Every structure is written in structure tokens, then in C-alpha cells.
Structure 1
């Protein structure tokens, strides 16, 4: 098979994007979606395999900033839009594209690569691990109450059009990014993503609204949502569809949640993407009746095993030699000494004896601090070579705040 692997030209965007739509089921996206993604497309980071004038497969990446334990925002390749034409499957196209992409990101100095997976079973073979999970919940407003913290009554709420309040909401969001691993720094253009609201994607609801939470005139939280009316035997049973819920203090979060569950004519509040340690778990009186479902959210891998561990901090002091296996990115293989703690870290090649043998998937899963290395050892991707090394390294990697990806890319 002779195919040409090269970057994407601007004149090819329509052909490229339509091929992606077919790869994901053939449904054409709205003009609003197409316009935004065309604006955000990074052509140099979008290699494609062309079979003559037809696209055999392609992959893309955005230049993102991802928060990591300790508060740093690390340059990250947001791998996305990976698709192979139905006529070209089972020819090794996706591995070839992924390898090219990761090589390019390594040369660009991006220590991490991240993605959200339409099919979760695909990306482990490329060294990605599930670094962040998220519960989806449907709160039964007739049966679930709230226990709100002190100060909630001091929050003033008002409903506005989302676009009119975008700058204030973005400023609040930016102030939260460094406090939780896995959050995206919204670079220029990306502030439009939360407002993307094409009619075909509304699940039968009208346009988005935003409720603002203010204390003494200062914005301390907001929620973007839409109402989906419904009736069951003449009784109101609508759904509040919550897009975003961000707050800078507990009382603001509680006030916003209370507003949403108290909406007239609604029987359910649906939140599709929350952190696993979200305050909601402790505010509701009956979490079981929120029907939680846990889903994989953020898939991650280190592109550079030296730079990625050194970019975060650790809860306790750590000094461990890792024997890393990475057959997809062989430049990462070998022994690396990771030493550091709460103040910072370094990770450098070494000839010293290894304390832990780890597949890169174990580092990928544990990197943001949401999963323990001992769990990786129980499953196989990590193995202790020096007694006590697993417990010590595992304690250092864990982070007190769960990782969370607020939106897809």
C-alpha cells in the first residue's frame, strides 16, 4: 500500500472534516460546531494519510495547557479527531498516525499527551492510561434534599444570557485551574467552547442560560444549564441539563445546586461530568437516588518520561529508580531516577539498580494523583523490585484533590 503521510492543508479542511464525520457515524455537525473547530484546528499538528485524493485516516492535536499536581500548567498535546476510513481499516493506519503525532509532540517539547476516548479500549496499546474519571448523576428532586453549609444564604443569584457574562465566568474559571489536576487552561479561542450550543445538540431543550452566584457583588460561582420540559400523566417531570457548575467557595456551590434542584416543573437535575470528589456527594441527602455512573474521562500518557514527572510535585519526599517499559515510544525506555517532594522534582536517566519496574501505562494512570501505584502493581503494569519502594512511591504520587477534565477537546 502506497500512501502519503503529510500535514493538513487549509484547502483540504472540508474533505478532512467530512471524513471525520463519517468515521464517527456520518452525521454532519452544525455550522456552529464546524465553524468553531475550523477556527481552532492546528494544521501543523494534523497529520493525515492520503490514498490519492482520498483520506485513508487522520489525527489531530491541540496545543493545550493541563494543570498537574502542585499547580503547574504543563504544555500538553490534546490528541483528537482520530479516524480511519472504513475502506482502510486493519492496515496499521492508526498506529502509524499516533506514532507520528507523538514524535512531533516530543520534538515540540510537550511532555504530555491527553485525549478523550470514544472507544476506551483502543488507546492502552499506545501507552495511554485512564488518569481521570467522572461520575454522571441524575438527581431525583422529589426525593433528594440538600444539606447546605453556613454562608449559603449570603449568596445572591441571578440568571443571565451566557455570552453577556462570559468574561466574568472565564476569569473565575481561570482562578480554579491550578487548584485541581487535569483542568484545561483555556487559551485564546477556547473560551467559545462552553458557549457552543447548536440546536441539534440540545436534547429537546431551549438555549443555554447561566445562573450567577455573587457575594457582595463579586462573582463566586456560576452554572450553565438548560430546561427540558416533560410531562408524565399530566404531572410535570422535566429535566435540568447542567453544562457547567464552577464555584470558588462551598457556599456558592451549594447555592447554585439548590437553585437547580428547586426549579419549577423539573423532576431531575442531570449533571454529566463532575469530579469524583465533587461536593455534591456530601450535600445530597441520598446519593443513591442520584443514580451515579462512573465513566472514564481523561486518558493521558507521558510523551517524555523525564520531563513529565519533573513537571509536578509530590505529597511526600520521593527517591525512586523506575525501570520504564514503553514499546510504543521507545525513547522513554530505560532507568529513570525520580527524586523530589512538595517543592519540586527532577527525573533523569541513571545506571543505578531499579526499585520499581513500571509499564508506561502505570505512570500514565498514576500521573495526576487519582490512582495509586499499588493498584497498578495488583493489576500487573507495576512491579516492586526493592521492598518498600512501592508503598513509598505510591504515597508520593497520590494527590488530595481528584483529577478532573472539565470539557472535551
Structure 2
């Protein structure tokens, strides 16, 4: 039977959630099918049907993402992209991506972003690896270097009800300057810090730390050994308005009794490495986080700011969204950009996946050239373009959506 694609309605939530659970090999829990109702945007969710059976789909959350120098900009936060196990390798995912990107082209966001369950999937749909996160592990009582100031403010453990309004204020104050951070509505705040038993993965309930200029949220994994307690402190999020507040929050967590080690999925340039007196105490590994797709190259390039002036003609290829293909003159003056379609000879050739990878300023176009994803035609143009794209800090998304 032929596969068909349609946009969902509110009545499709439960069926869609069952498909999501099946695709991620989770047990279907009928008692939690309503849980994602406040996150579900049916008019922005597509599903593929084999006859009357829903066999795959994908949705979009309407959010903002901070881009280099441009502050928060609209982003299509792509989520719950799934195919049932017995319908894979039959073109279901391609149908979902086709419907989603066609809809975005017609008046939607210029940029889409997602977290990939498997890194090999989304490149063929034009998504590029734009940000990474670090798995960080630091032993208890790790000392800071001499001269680190913790300020004089008190750090307190507080109940969730007291912590949440403060957390939202701090987050909103920081978000316009933190590349990769997303807007959060009430439902997204609730989902990010969901704390039912099945959310905990064997760890404790969330514990909340409040500083006048920041906050931290963590869970604990108990581990009682013959030589004493060696529990793990798993940080969910740390945010601070000042370096002193950031150091004070880390110091509070590192000095926690009954803990042997702090673990954190954090920004790849988290300053804790440089706070430590012995940098080797911080064990780190990196993995991909945000994948970015420019749905409308011209609009997307103009939405962010750049680190230096540049005037280059890009020959852009895009096999999945051919409306992006062609030659674009990117002109940057004083950090602000214009993108104009031209017939001029190109200075740099690249595909839309490379542009997505470089878009948040964390992936160098010169590195992509060495990987044969970008080709310089006019000598010197690539270095200038790569420098212009770089951000002031590594992009980071502190939540999976």
C-alpha cells in the first residue's frame, strides 16, 4: 500500500506518542500519553501512514535560538522524528523531512535545528554539525587556582518552588548572549526539569541551588563503599550572571559531602577547566549536540552577525532544497550582513550542510575545507570567510528537545 503524508490534529497526539515510544524502543505507558500535550504542535507535526497505520513522523517546536551577535532568532526546533522499526528503509523519513522543509519554506523559519539520535542520519537532508557538548567529570574537592574569587554572596539549597522563578529570570537575562540557547515557555521549562520517578534513571529527585546571581540543578547517585561514600553528583544545569557566581556554584557542588565525583554534560568551553589548579583533574570527552539546517540561506545568513568584514560570492549547492542552490554574495560591514543572489564568479564553493555546520560560529570553514566539504576558488577568500563566521564562544544547547 502506498505511503501517505499528512499534517496531524490534536486528536492524533496519543497515536503519535505511541509511534515515538515504539521507534525509541520504549515501553508504551498509557498513563503518560497526555504528558507531552503542551509541547505538541499538531499543525507543525507530520506523520506518514501506511494505509490507516501511522508509521512515522516528526514535529517542530516554535522557539527562538540565540545566534552569534544577533541575539534570539526564530528557529524550527525539530523534534520526535521517528519511524517504526518495521517500516524502516522504506522512505518514511524522507517523506517526513520533505513535508517539514517544504512547510518551512512557505513562510516558516529560515533555520532549523535538531539533536540527532544517530549522527549519520541528517547530513543527507542538509543538516550540519554546528555544536558539541562536553562530558565532564571532576573529583570531589578539586581545588581552584589561587586568586579565584567566589564573591561574598551566600549559596543556598532551596525548594523547587523557590528556585524556579529565580532560574527563569537568570536564564532570560543570559539567553540573548549565549549562542545555541533556546527560548523556553512554561511547558518547555516543565519538560526540561520533569521529575517523576521514571525521569530519574535511578538517581535522586532534583535538588536546587540558588545564588543571588545564578543557580544550579543536580541529582545524586548514591554509592556507599567500604572506604566511605563515593556518590556521583549529576549536574543538570548551571547558569550564572557573573564569573564569581559561576565559581561559587561550582565550589558548592564540588565540596558536597558524600560525593566522590561531579558529572556534567556542559559547554565544550566550560570555564571550570581554567578554574582548576590542576586541569588534568577534569576528564572530558566531546560529542555532537545541535545540527543546523539553513532552510532559507539568504535570510539565515542575514540574521546573525559576523566577526569581521568580508565580501565573497558563495556557490551554494543543496540537493534536498534546490531553492537554496545558486550564487550568493555575502557582504559584511560592521558585523551586519546582506545576502544577494548574483551571477558573479564564485570565490568559495560549499554545500548547505557546511553552511549549517558553520552557522553558529563553532565549526571553522577552514576545517571543513580540509575535510573536502568546502572548496576555495579565489585565494585568501576562505580564510577571510572562516574568520568572519567564528563566534565569541563555543555554541552550546543545554537541553535536548
Bin for the TM-score computed over the shorter chain: over 0.9
Offset of 1:263 from its aligned partner?
0.5
Q: Is the 8 A contact 2:148 2:275 kept in 1?
A: no
CA distance in 1, matches of 2:282, 2:271: 13
2:82 aligned partner:
83
Offset of 1:205 from its aligned partner?
2.5
CA distance in 2, matches of 1:188, 1:236: 37
Structure 1 unaligned spans of 5+ = 215-219
Matches within 5 A, 1:304-383: 304-383=296-375
Q: Is the 8 A contact 2:135 2:285 kept in 1?
A: yes
Match of 1:91, SS?
coil
Offset of 1:150 from its aligned partner?
4.9
Rate the CA distance shift 1:354–1:117 in 2: closer, same or farther, 3 A.
Answer: same
1:248 aligned partner:
241
Offset of 1:166 from its aligned partner?
1.2
Match of 1:38, SS?
coil
Match of 1:189, SS?
helix
Offset of 1:291 from its aligned partner?
2.1
Offset of 1:194 from its aligned partner?
3.2
The one of 389, 393, 400 aligned to 1:397 = 389
Match of 1:61, SS?
strand
Offset of 1:201 from its aligned partner?
2.7
**How many residue pairs end up in the alignment?**
401
Matches within 5 A, 1:1-400: 1-28=1-28, 34-141=33-140, 144-147=142-145, 150-214=148-212, 220-272=213-265, 274-400=266-392
Offset of 1:336 from its aligned partner?
0.4
Match of 2:130, SS?
strand
CA distance in 1, matches of 2:175, 2:129: 20
Q: Is the 8 A contact 2:71 2:177 kept in 1?
A: no
Rate the CA distance shift 1:149–1:64 in 2: closer, same or farther, 3 A.
Answer: farther
Q: TM-score, normalised by structure 2?
A: 0.96
Offset of 1:402 from its aligned partner?
1.0
Offset of 1:349 from its aligned partner?
0.7
Greater mean alpha carbon deviation, residues 155-164 or residues 121-130: 155-164
Match of 1:368, SS?
coil
Q: Is the 8 A contact 2:46 2:57 kept in 1?
A: yes
Rate the CA distance shift 1:149–1:102 in 2: closer, same or farther, 3 A.
Answer: farther
Q: Is the 8 A contact 1:149 1:254 kept in 2?
A: no
Q: TM-score, normalised by structure 1?
A: 0.94
Rate the CA distance shift 1:391–1:209 in 2: closer, same or farther, 3 A.
Answer: same
Offset of 1:394 from its aligned partner?
0.7
Q: Which runs of at least 4 in structure 1 moved beyond 6 Å after TM superposition? A: none
Offset of 1:188 from its aligned partner?
4.5
CA distance in 2, matches of 1:136, 1:390: 32
Rate the CA distance shift 1:102–1:243 in 2: closer, same or farther, 3 A.
Answer: same
Rate the CA distance shift 1:303–1:148 in 2: closer, same or farther, 3 A.
Answer: farther
Q: Is the 8 A contact 2:2 2:51 kept in 1?
A: no
Match of 2:171, SS?
helix
CA distance in 2, matches of 1:312, 1:166: 30
CA distance in 2, matches of 1:108, 1:408: 26
Rate the CA distance shift 1:53–1:336 in 2: closer, same or farther, 3 A.
Answer: same
Offset of 1:155 from its aligned partner?
2.1
Offset of 1:96 from its aligned partner?
1.4
Kindly provide the CA deviation profile for residues 350-385 of structure 1, in whole angstroms up to 9, marking residues without a partner as x.
111110001111101111111111111110111001
Q: Is the 8 A contact 1:112 1:300 kept in 2?
A: yes
Alpha-carbon RMSD across the aligned residues, in angstroms, is 1.6
Offset of 1:31 from its aligned partner?
5.2
CA distance in 2, matches of 1:331, 1:96: 18
Kindly provide the CA deviation profile for residues 238-274 of structure 1, in whole angstroms up to 9, marking residues without a partner as x.
01111110001001000000100111010011112x1
Greater mean alpha carbon deviation, residues 252-261 or residues 181-190: 181-190
Greater mean alpha carbon deviation, residues 49-58 or residues 75-84: 49-58
